[in-house]
Structure 1
Amino acid sequence: MKTLSDEELTNLAGNYFAPKGLYRHTKGLPFLGSLECNTKTLIAGQWTELIVEYTVGASGLADGAWIKGTFKFYSDWALFQTSDPKEDNYVSLEYTPGPLHEGQTAATVQSLAVRFDQKGHERPFQKAIIVIIVDGDMNPGDKITVRIGDRRWGSRGTRVQTFVEDKFLMRWYIDPVGTSRFAPIKPDIAFPIKSGPVARVKTITPRVVRPGVPAPLHVHTEDIWGNATADLGNLKAEVKLIKVGSKAEVVQTKTLPFAAQGWTVMNDTYEFVKDGDYDLVVAVSVDASLPIPRPLYSDLHVHSDDTVGTNSTTYNFSYAKEIAGLDVVGYTANDFNITKEKWEHTLEIIKRVDSPGEFVVFPGTEWCGNSAAGGDHNVVFLDDPKTSQPEFPFDKKGNVARSFEWNEDGPAELIPGAWPLDEVYATYAHSPESHLLIPHVGGRRCNLAWHHPQLERLLEIGTAWGLFEWLLRDAVKRGWKLGVSANSDEHRGRCGGGVPGTAVFGTKVGLTGVLADKLERGEVAKALRARRTFATTGERLVGIVRTDNGHLQGDDVFVKDNEKLVLRYSFFGAGGYSSIEAWDASGRILHRDLQKEAETHATASTPRKIRVTWGGARVYDRYREAVWHGSILLPGAVISHIRPFGGVLHNAEDEIKQFSQNQVVFETRTSGDFDGVDI
């Protein structure tokens, strides 16, 4: 009802008693209340105190009413606690009554209860600070102050999420009458989270190229959490191209400026004439026998804010090309989460940014089935969307091609579509050459009891969720002929370059190497379906296996009885390999311990070294992180120095340190990967 004048009230209601002036005051308030926050911008990973003040609206708050402060589940903002005010990430509440009008009854609330729940609301706003009004009510105009990371007892505050976001949202919901049904308090609390100061310089090149093939060079700066820094003027890079050898010949020197606005990035191209090893901070090898011009690097599992990612689709594609230096990207929409309108809008973006010879983008979806129904499978549409419309969200016959639709704007009822996995096979098996299905492990682990040999050509064995060598062994043991893929499954806006945060994304994102003749959609698609791929843990590593007659990894090779088959392998890296292994369904069939081989060639003066590694995951499923607290004691020995390696190098909060002259201590986390230290 509109706000009534005194005359209108008298005419309609007659004579009655009410607190003086309260009617007009109440009608002037937002019904569900209002929010204020002390923060306008934050730096990724910083420690801060966030103060949110909620003013009760015209609704008032009943005994048992709820308020929730929520944010998205993939944020790795440090987990809050409500038990110890002296510890970090403590959340406290304060109640301040508003001024009373003449004749108004004071609020009767006796206390406020608070707790934190990682799944306290609906996806994507699942993480929730929950406030409950206890034993009484609250009046319009009363205030609740929520201190997130309360510093008044000496803590550092709360640690902000470690990745940048153009518009971080904290959405507050209210149940003013205690019915457990919530409405959003508008507007959201929103602020940007920006990158911190420069902590390192990253140089990205192909690891190996043929002579005469242009090799792209990407250089950018990052903060301590692996975010690309931005808006730093007057920075320049001196790039030296050095021919590795006894003379370490400097072939070329360039001084190149970084971009002054936007990302601090510089891109260039080099061409190598002669075979050999070259240093561009990272190593580059030139090999005339390479079966392709150069390996292509791809991330086939990229989310954006269309569904459960961070920042826009355009931002993510720009990051992939400019910062991560990727050649190929596979856009991925959670099939139940994407709306038809957003899907069609993203297809138009893909049509614009796809550039043969420079940057290839495939549209795709993630079929989000539970493990009992087949588990997560990415569907990559290989045909050009300019000429062939992907069969989503409906197939050519008009059947639903998604698992179901369930999102913020979605239907009230959950109705299954293509479910279980058998029906996904039935949807796309009519044209296997136009599709690529990739089983993977994320939140919903794929189930390899299902397998379609024509559609499923690659298996995803590494993402930000973890490393899954066990999945590859399972596939090999079952006899499934699958190539390998490693991608980002990136929810944090850093496809091809994301490093671990402090939540469920526990490892550096992977890369899929593609052995294609050209950087063109058709050639890349053909190589992917031919299983001519390799998977890396995010570094520009290269693995190539071939036969003398030109077969490459992924090819079917027919061998006669008693015929000898020679496999020649080339592995290119930077930091050194520990071992090389080959497996088949019977188990491990080849093992080279390169550490031991190095020992046999070491001189007598070489210092003694002990290598200790630890790793693995707690479970196969979503919350798999294993937490390690350990000590390595060397009685009677003196430690000269230590060199940590593995995933610990990518996480600013993990630590391996020398504690004394004969002790090393560590606190790290692994998600199927490993950490280690050379002592």
Structure 2
Amino acid sequence: MATYTYVEVPGVPLLPIVPGAAHKWHAVIPTSRARGDVFALNVRVDDIWGNPTADCPAGPFRLKGNGPIAALPDEVRFQPGAKALRIEGLKVNAPGLIVIDVLDAGGQKVVSSNTLVAKDELSLRPYWGDLHAQSGETIGSGSALDYIVFGRDYAFLDMIGHQGNDFQITQRFWSKLNSLMREWNAPGRFVTLPGYEWSGNTALGGDRNVFYKDESLPIRRSSHALVADRSDVETDCWDARALFSALGPDFSQTVVWAHCGGRYADIAYAHDHALERSVEIHSSWGTFEWLAADAFQQGYRVGIVGNSDGHKGRPGSEPPGASLFGALGGLTCYWMKELTRDCLFDALQSRHHYATTGSRVHLMVDVQLADSGTVWTDDPRVPGARSHTSDVVMMGDIVSCSARCVALHATIVADSAILCIEVRRGSEILETIRPNGKLPMGRRYRIEWSGAEYRGRARQTVWDGTLRVEGAEIVSANPINFLNPDRPLKQVSRTELSWSSITTGNYAGIDLVLSGDDAAIKIETAVGELAVSLADVGHAPTIRKFGKLARELRISRQPDEYAVTASELRRDIDLVPGDNPLWICASFADGHQAWSSPIYFIGQQ
């Protein structure tokens, strides 16, 4: 581990761990660019556990461009032994939507890329990162170097951070890690961000991510529990309040996030308006909207991020595997002027970002004001807070203005059907839009279960169960967020399903098609039951709640075929006195979700 205290054990066998056969292909391009921008297509294939594998045909593969794209080669090949392929020099030549299909030698589609939204011009461009995970030098797999290489060359990240547990980071490893961050930082191609995880227990404030603008600032640990060299023990910060006090003089060079891992953050115990800019509400540990709710309740103005917080050395692409991690690792998209560390830090401090559960969807939330307002980069409660005047504001902005009503504008472009969009003010859902709800409903039903036992470790809710149909037969049943291959959805008979499933604040479920709709369904799980006549089930879910942390069973009726994968909405929202954190949560048919950082309108008293 990071203590670098080793005892050699003779005769230890070497067990090579190698990826399996090709199972799932991925093709990744940027989510938005402007006319004339040059970009790259990245392709890889994973085995059933999410490990990149070279056990696939080398090619040739044909590339088919859909939309305003130039300089796309006709065909490409994988190099011998390669697990990924990067095709550079592609160009946006007009506004529109761009998707690239990868076809095998027989002309069959292997995979389609995510959608790139092409614009005439952009002042900010989206870049994708996973800034929160760690490697084997602390708790995890592989070396820090392998970790960085995976993030750039296999997960196709634009930026990366390393967040080792502070009580395991020796001065030697801290120096090595900073050297790697400096060496691999390549503006325009790949950005690294130095930092560490302050790993205090919840009673002392809980886990915080600390990010530095450069490699010169010191690590301030929660303890030296696994660090033998105590020559710098006087720099330790035993609780989060002490951490914020110590970091305060460097707040222009430092960003802190609160997150929920093994020691969930108690942001009511400690928070700093200048330092703590965001909360992480999704990771491999699960989904934690309650952390954002805590911030709203306390009157904090924070952005929203998602990361893997993974231990497997696979930043940017981390399934939970066979362990008790319950979710696919998340990602955050940052709106930046260019791909540099300075611009990343600007985005972090301005909260100009949105989180996903791992998908790369395009999301923008903005407001055109009738009259210019004051837009705050820093919370105005911070002495010397930076601000500027503008009549256009976007996700993450803190806004003082004379408006009593604002027109919220949101654009979503995804590769899976948009099931619902929630317009929120803090924890209040102002409106739920179901874009596919105008289609004729079919014999397709969506069953979902979600929630967690509590905030701390072992939060997993076990949903092992069965589904029985009376009056119809099962035509098809496809799993949603069944992320452990050892726990598949099973069809027991023409009228019965069974499964083993856990959730950790996120959700899982079944996409079910029946032979008729004059039928009834009974769902039995380890948590509880839900029995319904399908005549009573509509597009808005029928829900049964089971307490604790948002544990629910729900069923809804869906169209036979989805049609809406893109949505643009405008809503007039009356502002109330005090803070108005206006944000969007979108849910998709493939089981993914996305959350914008709120725009904080400070309503007139």
TM-score range, shorter chain: 0.7 to 0.9
Change (3 A) 1:500 1:550: same
Which amino acid in 1 is paired with 2:424?
Answer: W
Which amino acid in 2 is paired with 1:550?
Answer: V
Which amino acid in 2 is paired with 1:243?
Answer: G
| Alpha-carbon distance, 1:268 to partner | 3.2
Which amino acid in 1 is paired with 2:119?
Answer: A
Distance 1:289 1:552 in 2: 19
Decide which structure has the larger Cα Rg and report it: 1
1:337 and 2:168 equivalent? yes
Change (3 A) 1:659 1:251: farther
Q: Assess if the C-alpha contact under 8 Å between 2:280 and 2:304 holds in 1.
A: yes
| Alpha-carbon distance, 1:188 to partner | 4.3
Which amino acid in 2 is paired with 1:601?
Answer: L
Distance 1:302 1:551 in 2: 31
| 1:133-152 to 2 correspondences below 5 Å | none
1:209 and 2:33 equivalent? yes
| Alpha-carbon distance, 1:556 to partner | 1.3
Q: Secondary structure at the match of 1:578?
A: strand
Change (3 A) 1:618 1:413: farther
From 601, 615, 618, the equivalent of 2:439 is: 601
Change (3 A) 1:283 1:489: closer
| Alpha-carbon distance, 1:554 to partner | 0.8
1:192 and 2:16 equivalent? yes
From 122, 137, 143, the equivalent of 1:306 is: 137
Q: Assess if the C-alpha contact under 8 Å between 1:241 and 1:251 holds in 2.
A: no
Distance 2:80 2:189 in 1: 24
Distance 1:368 1:454 in 2: 20
Number of the residue aligned with 1:506? 326
| Alpha-carbon distance, 1:583 to partner | 2.6
Which amino acid in 2 is paired with 1:579?
Answer: C
From 495, 499, 511, the equivalent of 1:666 is: 499
| 1:70-149 to 2 correspondences below 5 Å | none
Change (3 A) 1:227 1:433: same
| Alpha-carbon distance, 1:520 to partner | 0.8
Q: Secondary structure at the match of 1:460?
A: strand
Q: Secondary structure at the match of 1:333?
A: coil
Q: Secondary structure at the match of 1:433?
A: helix
From 454, 466, 469, the equivalent of 1:619 is: 454
From 610, 616, 627, the equivalent of 2:445 is: 610
Number of the residue aligned with 1:457? 277
Number of the residue aligned with 2:195? 364
Distance 1:124 1:515 in 2: 38
User: Percent of counterpart pairs with the same letter?
Assistant: 28
Number of the residue aligned with 2:206? 375
Number of the residue aligned with 2:348? 528
Change (3 A) 1:267 1:187: farther
Distance 2:255 2:358 in 1: 22
Distance 1:259 1:425 in 2: 49
Number of the residue aligned with 2:305? 485
Q: Assess if the C-alpha contact under 8 Å between 1:277 and 1:286 holds in 2.
A: yes
Change (3 A) 1:592 1:231: closer
Change (3 A) 1:293 1:430: closer
Q: Secondary structure at the match of 2:128?
A: strand
Distance 1:296 1:255 in 2: 27
Gaps in structure 2 of 5+ consecutive residues: 101-111, 369-390, 513-605
Which amino acid in 2 is paired with 1:674?
Answer: Y
From 397, 404, 411, the equivalent of 1:555 is: 397
Q: Assess if the C-alpha contact under 8 Å between 1:406 and 1:414 holds in 2.
A: no
| 1:337-416 to 2 correspondences below 5 Å | 337-383=168-214, 385=215, 389-392=216-219, 401-407=220-226, 409=228
Distance 2:188 2:73 in 1: 27
Which amino acid in 1 is paired with 2:37?
Answer: V
Distance 2:296 2:9 in 1: 52
1:432 and 2:251 equivalent? yes
Change (3 A) 1:302 1:516: same
Change (3 A) 1:663 1:217: same
| Alpha-carbon distance, 1:467 to partner | 1.3
From 187, 199, 219, the equivalent of 2:43 is: 219
| Alpha-carbon distance, 1:352 to partner | 1.1
| Alpha-carbon distance, 1:124 to partner | 10
Change (3 A) 1:192 1:292: farther
Change (3 A) 1:380 1:657: same
Distance 2:280 2:411 in 1: 22
| 1:274-293 to 2 correspondences below 5 Å | 274-280=94-100, 281-288=112-119, 291-292=122-123
Number of the residue aligned with 1:574? 415
How far does the alpha carbon of each residue in 1:484-520 deviate from its partner, in whole angstroms, 9 at most, with x for none?
A: 1111112101100011112132211100110111001
Q: Secondary structure at the match of 1:477?
A: helix
| Alpha-carbon distance, 1:566 to partner | 0.8
| Alpha-carbon distance, 1:289 to partner | 6.5
Distance 2:55 2:75 in 1: 19
1:446 and 2:265 equivalent? yes
Distance 2:451 2:508 in 1: 9
TM-score normalised according to structure 1 size: 0.66
From 423, 430, 433, the equivalent of 1:589 is: 430
Q: Assess if the C-alpha contact under 8 Å between 1:436 and 1:456 holds in 2.
A: yes
| Alpha-carbon distance, 1:631 to partner | 1.8
Distance 1:186 1:415 in 2: 39
Distance 1:616 1:124 in 2: 37
Distance 1:287 1:534 in 2: 19
Number of the residue aligned with 1:77? none
Which amino acid in 2 is paired with 1:433?
Answer: S
Q: Give the paired residue count.
A: 477
Number of the residue aligned with 1:471? 291
Gaps in structure 1 of 5+ consecutive residues: 1-71, 73-122, 126-170, 172-182, 393-400
